[in-house]
Structure 1
Amino acid sequence: MSLKEVLKEHQERRRKDKLAVMTMVFRRSKPHPLIHQTRLGNEELLLVIDPSTKQLLHFDSLKEAGGRESARQQTLARQVVLERSILADRPAVQLCLDVQDCYIDICSPEVLLLFTDNFDYQHLRRDFVKGLLSDEVMGNKIYTHEIFGDYAARIDNMRAYDVVSKDIIHRWTYPMVPDIRFASPETGIKIGRSNIYKEDGVVLAPTTVIGPSTVLGTGTSIGDKSIVRNSVIGRGCTIGSNVNIEGSHIWNNVTVGDNVQIRHAVICDGVVLKSGAIIEPGVLLSFKVVIGENFTVPAYSKISLVRQRPEEDSSDEELEYAEAASGVAESPPSPFYDGRVVNGSPAHGGDELPESPRWDPSEVGIAGAGCNWSAGQDEEWRHSVAPIPSERIREIVAREEEGELEDDARDMTASSTNDNIAEQVDDDEADEEDESAFFDKEVEALFRRAVTGEAGAHEDHVVLEVNSLKLAYDRSFSDCAGAMFTALLNLASERPHTTSRDLLQNCRQVVVQWGPLLRRFLKSQDDEMEVLLVFEEICVEDNREFAPIFASVLQELYDKDVISEEAIIAWASEKQQADESDKVFVKQCERFIQWLEEASEEDEDDEDEE
């Protein structure tokens, strides 16, 4: 994003009001905890803003309660108390749950003085922003700036690192994309179909398979029958044969032996993975770590040549964190061995250095190098590059559904005392249409990920993510089914075809492969009828090349048990009283519908005879 607009806005505000010391940048994000956590690993934010001035009145994060608490406890953990003064002398306030903090702040010089006066501030948001908003004596003010078309995001954990990297590869950050901003003058980058980027000087064996959303750096060579998908491979890497790399970030000068499996991991410069090693999802291997032959690194492990310092007793959590972080950053590149530093300063007990490092084979395998850093395993899934486990998604969705049931009960009680509901304005209807279109695009994007085999896009995972979108957008299963069916037809239409017969063959292939996924969103006969209505709308308005093969596609959906006989007959019955223009596709299916009705009558007769 360009900072010109927000800088100008901040400067103009400062000229009018010297107490306007800070402007914070936000962007829109759908209000659902699953969206925030699967996207950047962050919690939901609640902002209270004066809509007329854009002044920030309240800032809070709706942190999920830990453990297995009930929905009631989860709700209490996420409750927010607003000061009465926020509502005083203001005709309206705006409560925002649909925002993402970009961590871009335009500050006046007074901010530095405020930090000096409050030397115990450790966290910019939790301490400084909240402290500034609650300080009524000084009267300093914070304002907000919302971006719409621009891209801005903060990388403060590995999930955010992975997501922003994927956004760059998918060109959401244009012109900051690999072939424009990251290519060196000496080395060019070629972009192929499905967002495959290759620098000059990449050597691939004839049987190597490079999947979608992949970047390969110069000087990298990949052996026979190796597969790389949805990954970034740096420069100067040597990758052996029969290697499978998926959803991972491999930096420069990494050596990967034969028959190695790497899934959703981050591998830093100079790492060596010996033959047969398996790197499970969520693993982070620091600089020059060596993993022994046929050794499996467990999920979410963090391995480094620098030994982890023991935690020191401290009552200040933030000081503890800062001390640990600075220790990692300032540690020399040489590893610690049993309290002594190799290739560095002499050991405390004398000048003698150990002849060889002492690494635990249970952590890095035989002849490996590195030590495993312990971490809070309960939260590792939240900030890892690995896809969020299905059971975690189910927990979040279940908690949200339970919370919605409680909200519905409270709303019903409130509505009994207040029957006067304001009429919906035209602007709200327009917003609803925009949101519906956005929902359809999000569902299709999830389906496309499954089609291309992108990391974390297995059928069960797609179903869970679509269900989370359903909750976030307040949609029904019929909406999900309609959006998914549209995505199926778009896929069939994009495949090569010159005649209606070719298009029908494409549809049959798509229905065979993806019909079971669509079926998982058809919970009732009404949902199935909604799919037929969507099909009609597509044939009339969006893609008329499907119109001549409507009946054939419908029969294929019936043959593959996607649409039931009852739904088709009910759809045809509803059309009997419609205008002639609405009966076009019913007439096209007349013979098929007649056959279904006769078959249904025969079944009923057989049941009567029995």
Structure 2
Amino acid sequence: DDDNDDDDDDDDSTGNVERPSQAALAAASALALGRAPPRDLLLSAGFDVAAVGEDGAGYAWAVSDLRDAERYSVAPLRKTQIAQELMRMVATAPSATEGSHVEGTGGAAGATGSEDEENEEAEVDPSRRFKQEVQETFLRCMNMPNLEMSNLVVELNGLRLAENKTFSDCACFLLTTLLSRCFTAPSDALDEYRNLFAAAPPDTSSTEGKLALLSRFKQLLAQWRPILNKFLKDTDDQVELLLTLEEYCAEEGVFKGEMNGRHFSELFAHVLKALYDADVVETEAVLAWASEKEHAAEEEKVFLKKAARIVEQLQQQDDDDDDEDDDEDDEDDEDEDEDEDD
């Protein structure tokens, strides 16, 4: 037992691991994807060619007491997973001019961190990060031949639990991933996912272009509706979905700066109708969403006004159903009275 305790002490992983420079991360990301990075980028990265070879990415690190990651890995990481992680690290890494890399060293001693860097990492929006993770998981599974929907559900549930998120959080970002696929691939999309996006940007300046954009969304919705429904457990979840659709179209919150939502803004009512027709959202959810917006400030009612006709129709339909139920109840009461008289 004492020996085991000593081993555990020697295998301590509480030490601080310093982040490599931005140049090193960018070069490693390119190599992980099978692409040759520019020579000047490799020189800036300062990889130890003698240790890792000309096509390698890394440094000769001194022996330390840090844990061996593979020892605790359930399965080896796939190349795409490594590349995705590297790309995320590049996106959040400070530039070389911010003092995160000491010129001339290029090795472990040169990869110095800073308090500013730690503060930046702490300020990363958890919702934005979760949105990215859901999207990447969804795209990866979409690209799999003969995908079993149940496997995708398991993956997303694992991600949801790991990030302490709700079912509706997953559903909302699944929907926005489908909406995003109606456009060309973003600049940071992995090459293996680019075939999932539109080949050309939509021409929303014309009626034909808007109809084509809506048609593409409806096709994607028909294919992936079952996975959306798996994560929409009740009316509240469906209301959250509509609120997120608003955010996406307004390019607010985690969608700020994406510049795709505005194309669906004019089509908001049509997207809402498509979700309703596909049984993704029900009458009760649409009316609850409208009721929630009814007492909001005028600037918060933009999309409610766009969907006013649909809301009115559903409200009328709901009222008619209530009247029919009341009539049926009255008839049942009359039948019971007649039976008692007999």
Q: Which has the higher contact order (CA 8 A, sep 6+)?
A: 2
Instruction: Give how far 1:479 is off.
Output: 1.1
Give the aligned partner of residue 551 of structure 1: 269
Could you tell me whether the CA contact under 8 Å between 1:450 and 1:459 is conserved in 2?
Answer: no
Could you tell me whether the CA contact under 8 Å between 1:515 and 1:560 is conserved in 2?
Answer: yes
Q: Does 2:126 correspond to 1:435?
A: yes
- The one-letter code of the counterpart of 1:576 is E
Could you tell me whether the CA contact under 8 Å between 1:470 and 1:476 is conserved in 2?
Answer: yes
Instruction: Give how far 1:593 is off.
Output: 0.8
Could you tell me whether the CA contact under 8 Å between 1:450 and 1:458 is conserved in 2?
Answer: no
Structure 2 unaligned segments of length 5 or more: list them: 38-73, 79-117, 185-197, 204-208, 256-260, 329-342
- The one-letter code of the counterpart of 1:180 is A
Could you tell me whether the CA contact under 8 Å between 1:557 and 1:563 is conserved in 2?
Answer: yes
Q: Structure 1 residues 180 and 491 mapped into 2: Cα distance closer, same or farther (>3 Å)? A: same
Q: Say which of 139, 142, 146 aligns to 1:448.
A: 139
Counterparts of residues 150-165 of structure 1 (less than 5 Å): none
Could you tell me whether the CA contact under 8 Å between 1:493 and 1:506 is conserved in 2?
Answer: no
Separation in structure 1 between the aligned mates of residue 121 and residue 32 of structure 2, nearest angstrom: 33
Give the aligned partner of residue 477 of structure 1: 167
Q: Structure 1 residues 481 and 559 mapped into 2: Cα distance closer, same or farther (>3 Å)? A: same
- The one-letter code of the counterpart of 2:239 is M
Give the aligned partner of residue 3 of structure 1: none
Instruction: Give how far 1:129 is off.
Output: 4.8
Q: What secondary structure is seen at the aligned counterpart in 1 of 2:36?
A: helix
Give the aligned partner of residue 303 of structure 2: 585
Could you tell me whether the CA contact under 8 Å between 1:489 and 1:507 is conserved in 2?
Answer: yes
- The one-letter code of the counterpart of 1:173 is S
Q: What secondary structure is seen at the aligned counterpart in 1 of 2:279?
A: coil
Q: Cα deviation per residue 1:101-124 (whole Å; 9 max; x = unaligned)?
A: xxxxxxxxxxxxxxxxxxxx9xxx
Q: Does 2:326 correspond to 1:608?
A: yes
Give the aligned partner of residue 505 of structure 1: 215
Separation in structure 1 between the aligned mates of residue 145 and residue 222 of structure 2, nearest angstrom: 20
Q: What secondary structure is seen at the aligned counterpart in 2 of 1:180?
A: coil
Counterparts of residues 351-390 of structure 1 (less than 5 Å): 383=75
Separation in structure 2 between the aligned mates of residue 131 and residue 451 of structure 1, nearest angstrom: 44
Q: Cα deviation per residue 1:499-521 (whole Å; 9 max; x = unaligned)?
A: 22221111111111112111110
Separation in structure 2 between the aligned mates of residue 436 and residue 149 of structure 1, nearest angstrom: 25
Q: Say which of 9, 15, 21 aligns to 1:144.
A: 15
Q: What secondary structure is seen at the aligned counterpart in 1 of 2:242?
A: helix
Question: Which structure dedicates a bigger proportion of its chain to helix?
Answer: 2
Q: Structure 1 residues 601 and 177 mapped into 2: Cα distance closer, same or farther (>3 Å)? A: closer
Separation in structure 1 between the aligned mates of residue 35 and residue 5 of structure 2, nearest angstrom: 41
- The one-letter code of the counterpart of 1:483 is F
Separation in structure 2 between the aligned mates of residue 147 and residue 532 of structure 1, nearest angstrom: 42
Separation in structure 2 between the aligned mates of residue 587 and residue 469 of structure 1, nearest angstrom: 36
Q: Structure 1 residues 143 and 560 mapped into 2: Cα distance closer, same or farther (>3 Å)? A: closer
Counterparts of residues 113-152 of structure 1 (less than 5 Å): 129-130=7-8, 132=10, 144-148=15-19
Instruction: Give how far 1:493 is off.
Output: 2.7
How many pairs are equivalent?
221
Q: What secondary structure is seen at the aligned counterpart in 2 of 1:474?
A: coil
Q: Cα deviation per residue 1:311-364 (whole Å; 9 max; x = unaligned)?
A: xxxxxxxxxxxxxxxxxxxxxxxxxxxxxxxxxxxxxxxxxxxxxxxxxxxxxx
Counterparts of residues 227-242 of structure 1 (less than 5 Å): none
Question: Which structure dedicates a bigger proportion of its chain to strand?
Answer: 1
Separation in structure 2 between the aligned mates of residue 149 and residue 546 of structure 1, nearest angstrom: 40
Separation in structure 1 between the aligned mates of residue 163 and residue 248 of structure 2, nearest angstrom: 22
Q: Structure 1 residues 385 and 607 mapped into 2: Cα distance closer, same or farther (>3 Å)? A: same
Q: What secondary structure is seen at the aligned counterpart in 1 of 2:153?
A: helix
- The one-letter code of the counterpart of 1:515 is R
Q: Structure 1 residues 131 and 448 mapped into 2: Cα distance closer, same or farther (>3 Å)? A: closer
- The one-letter code of the counterpart of 2:230 is R
Structure 1 unaligned segments of length 5 or more: list them: 1-82, 84-120, 134-140, 152-170, 182-381, 387-426
Instruction: Give how far 1:144 is off.
Output: 2.6
Q: Structure 1 residues 521 and 503 mapped into 2: Cα distance closer, same or farther (>3 Å)? A: same
TM-score (norm 1): 0.33
Q: Does 2:29 correspond to 1:173?
A: yes
Q: Structure 1 residues 180 and 534 mapped into 2: Cα distance closer, same or farther (>3 Å)? A: same
Separation in structure 1 between the aligned mates of residue 179 and residue 135 of structure 2, nearest angstrom: 11
In our comparison, the structure showing a higher alpha carbon Rg is 1
Separation in structure 2 between the aligned mates of residue 523 and residue 148 of structure 1, nearest angstrom: 41
Instruction: Give how far 1:467 is off.
Output: 0.8
Separation in structure 2 between the aligned mates of residue 505 and residue 478 of structure 1, nearest angstrom: 25
Counterparts of residues 481-496 of structure 1 (less than 5 Å): 481-494=171-184, 495=198, 496=200
**In angstroms, what is the RMSD of aligned CA positions?**
3.5
Give the aligned partner of residue 227 of structure 2: 517
Q: What secondary structure is seen at the aligned counterpart in 2 of 1:546?
A: helix
Q: Cα deviation per residue 1:527-583 (whole Å; 9 max; x = unaligned)?
A: 111111111111112421110000001000000000111000010011111111111
- The one-letter code of the counterpart of 2:15 is T
Q: Cα deviation per residue 1:132-156 (whole Å; 9 max; x = unaligned)?
A: 47xxxxxxx99734144679xxxxx
